[in-house]
Chain A
């Protein structure tokens, strides 16, 4: 055994005791977060981790790799049994586990998870006796569905009737999910490389589907869409965590938990705030409540909108959680460029139904009532209404309607169609080629068209664009950047002009000895300079 273990550079199986002392890159984000939460004394179901090193070696030699560490895996399962006072593969109090992926860089939803491992025929009988028949059946159904889909790739395949065989099969499936097409596509999109692999986290299950006062939820320590200083989340009474994160079940807002279990609700909020201060970032936390007891399954930095990124970075700085450099690291030039171009508010996009999608023919935004009839459209526009012209295709006689309208939608025709040509010439946002039936569906409703994305949404949604001059937040960021950036940029002054904010142009200005420049977008220039200066590898990607 010592020989086989010696091939690993670091311990291959790590018990997350709350002081395991291993680096994030080895453990993967998920295991690292669990260990950190445990160190904080937070209620985390006991877990151990097969490291990213094991995951990488598995891809080259699956069976040999698992053979080499299996004795340690079995030992770690024994530790879970002790921690939970339950037993794996048998009664009287069966232990079930989940196997989750956890790479060093998070890829939400891209890798696989299998839950409820350990439900064998015999264990099912025990669960039926000590819990309820419903619970036993529900848990076995969940295991079989996930195991067949993920580990077997066959909806009719046979799930092994031994808990350790299930565990081994699940670990292999999670490791293999690193190479799935969707995971590869995600890494490619985010410029992450394919080397390495994912870790696998084996964790004792807690049950949101076990009777009253149970359920599962997700909480964000602050609103990741708007950046507002308010926790938001979802709650599903009687559900398991997978039901919530997969989006397969309709959840209630987190406030429902406050009504059902006020003490647990307060614990959730207090924990979210504590984790946020500990991680110095907005947290996205999965939790389960089993019989009125709160368990934390995962915490990670929340994905967020560009506007929330700016708001939150400044808020965290004001609260003393991050310094100036970290503030500027979080806000990239791309974030600012996105905010400076008009767009629909992220919060509005989440609630406004998408009514039609087509080709973006003329960029920009327009809201108004949809009219299918030219004369009615012109009359309404003459009366001062905001009109969106919706036509199957456009004829020359429609041009006067396009002139009167704020925006155009067509069923057929491409971006070179006459309607598209005229709309661009008039600067009327246009979405073309939305497909048959759109005219009838939209006629008479208030819509907003996004000629940049090619979308038509319900309701009048005002586009917003931030301005470097008018936005207090961007002005504050510019102030911070001006003190740090190797190149100070200003709206005006007796300096050379730099209109091109690309890294190469900014680098050239610095190399030419300039310390101050004038630009229409000083913040973008300075953030480009700061990022190129401090985090060149990231910008080079």
Chain B
């Protein structure tokens, strides 16, 4: 399981430092470091300035994910994913309203406007929790996502609004984007199909 978690986290981050990898995988730090060393030696991870998947690492990850799916009820995941799409649309609208106002970049000079947008995050946060819980019954690995969303949500609520959308940190949008990718894969779909159908992008 630690191998799957490590490879999948590297994949979702694209290129990641060891520190960030350790922060993203809910396992013991020493065990992660040991796993990384083993995966690099096996040629599954490429260790440069940052860590990334090699082609064989990507193939290994795909095999592990397929095995994980085989032990799960994919129909139950697909049902959860269909519910996620509706919340996802609301969340993306919220994020766009946060970034854009009247077609222009939001200058964040209107506290009332910003507060009204942020207030919608509570509803999204509440609605997504049972969806993840259902999916995590099938794919236990996914239970890390509520915790990560909780952390980002708490930071946004405390006024640190960078944690809503900033990339390269585990902001609410970063975690959500990764969760979305996980659900697409767990439901046996692809990002391209989902984007074509207007649910991904």
Q: Which residues of A contact B (CB under 8 A)?
A: 363, 374-375, 378, 392-403, 410, 412-422, 424-426, 432
Q: State which of A400, A410, A421, A426 has its C-beta within 8 Å of the C-beta of B13.
A: A400
Contacts of A397 in B (CB 8 A): 11-14
Knowing A418-B201, A432-B201 are in contact, say whether A424-B105 is a contact too (CB < 8 A). yes
Q: Is the CB of B167 within 8 A of A393?
A: no
Best-surrounded residue of B12, B92, B165 (most CB of chain A within 10 A) = B92
Not counting A399-B14, A412-B195, A416-B93, a sample of 9 additional A-B residue pairs whose C-beta atoms are within 8 angstroms of each other reads A378-B15, A392-B195, A396-B12, A397-B13, A401-B14, A415-B96, A417-B201, A418-B200, A420-B201
User: Could you tell me the distance between the alpha carbons of A378 and B14 in the complex, rounded to whole angstroms?
Assistant: 11
Contacts of A392 in B (CB 8 A): 192, 195
Q: Which residue of A lies closest to B97 (CB)?
A: A416
Q: State which of B14, B168, B200 has its C-beta within 8 Å of the C-beta of A413.
A: B200
Q: Which residue of A lies closest to B12 (CB)?
A: A396
Of residues 151 through 189 on chain B, the ones whose CB sits less than 8 Å from some CB of chain A are: 165-168, 173-174, 177-178, 180-181
User: Could you tell me the distance between the alpha carbons of A88 and B121 in the complex, rounded to whole angstroms?
Assistant: 78
Measured between C-beta atoms, what is the minimum distance from B160 to chain A in Å?
Answer: 15
Measured between C-beta atoms, what is the minimum distance from B145 to chain A in Å?
Answer: 13
Contacts of B95 in A (CB 8 A): 416, 421
Contacts of B198 in A (CB 8 A): 414
Measured between C-beta atoms, what is the minimum distance from B146 to chain A in Å?
Answer: 18
Measured between C-beta atoms, what is the minimum distance from B110 to chain A in Å?
Answer: 15
Q: Is the CB of A421 within 8 A of B196?
A: no
Nearest 10 Cβ contacts at the A-B interface: A413-B201, A417-B201, A393-B195, A397-B14, A400-B14, A416-B92, A412-B195, A416-B96, A400-B15, A396-B12
Q: Which residue of A lies closest to B195 (CB)?
A: A393
Q: Is the CB of B181 within 8 A of A395?
A: yes
Q: Is the CB of B177 within 8 A of A396?
A: yes
Q: Is the CB of B180 within 8 A of A398?
A: no
Could you jot down 16 A-B contacts, CB within 8 Å?
A: A375-B52, A396-B174, A396-B177, A397-B11, A397-B12, A400-B15, A403-B168, A410-B201, A412-B195, A412-B196, A418-B177, A418-B180, A418-B200, A421-B92, A421-B96, A421-B99
Contacts of A424 in B (CB 8 A): 99-100, 105
User: Could you tell me the distance between the alpha carbons of A417 and B181 in the complex, rounded to whole angstroms?
Assistant: 13
**B191 at the A/B interface (Cβ < 8 Å)?**
yes
Q: Is the CB of A396 within 8 A of B196?
A: no
Contacts of A414 in B (CB 8 A): 198, 201
Q: Which residues of B contact A (CB under 8 A)?
A: 11-15, 52, 92-93, 95-96, 99-100, 104-105, 165-168, 173-174, 177-178, 180-181, 191-192, 194-196, 198, 200-201
Contacts of A418 in B (CB 8 A): 92, 173, 177, 180, 200-201
Knowing A424-B100, A424-B105 are in contact, say whether A393-B201 is a contact too (CB < 8 A). yes
Q: Which residue of B lies closest to A422 (CB)?
A: B167
Contacts of A415 in B (CB 8 A): 96, 100
Q: State which of A395, A402, A412, A416 has its C-beta within 8 Å of the C-beta of B167.
A: A402
Measured between C-beta atoms, what is the minimum distance from B23 to chain A in Å?
Answer: 15
Q: Is the CB of A396 within 8 A of B14?
A: yes
Best-surrounded residue of A378, A393, A395 (most CB of chain B within 10 A) = A395
Contacts of A412 in B (CB 8 A): 192, 195-196, 200-201
Q: Which residue of A lies closest to B180 (CB)?
A: A418
Measured between C-beta atoms, what is the minimum distance from B35 to chain A in Å?
Answer: 19
User: Could you tell me the distance between the alpha carbons of A96 and B194 in the complex, rounded to whole angstroms?
Assistant: 63
Q: Which residue of B lies closest to A382 (CB)?
A: B49
Measured between C-beta atoms, what is the minimum distance from B163 to chain A in Å?
Answer: 12
Contacts of A410 in B (CB 8 A): 201
Q: State which of B15, B104, B167, B177 has its C-beta within 8 Å of the C-beta of A426.
A: B167
User: Could you tell me the distance between the alpha carbons of A48 and B165 in the complex, rounded to whole angstroms?
Assistant: 68
Contacts of A413 in B (CB 8 A): 195, 200-201
Contacts of A375 in B (CB 8 A): 52
Q: Is the CB of A396 within 8 A of B195?
A: no
Contacts of A394 in B (CB 8 A): 201
Q: Is the CB of A396 within 8 A of B178?
A: yes
Contacts of B173 in A (CB 8 A): 418, 421-422, 425
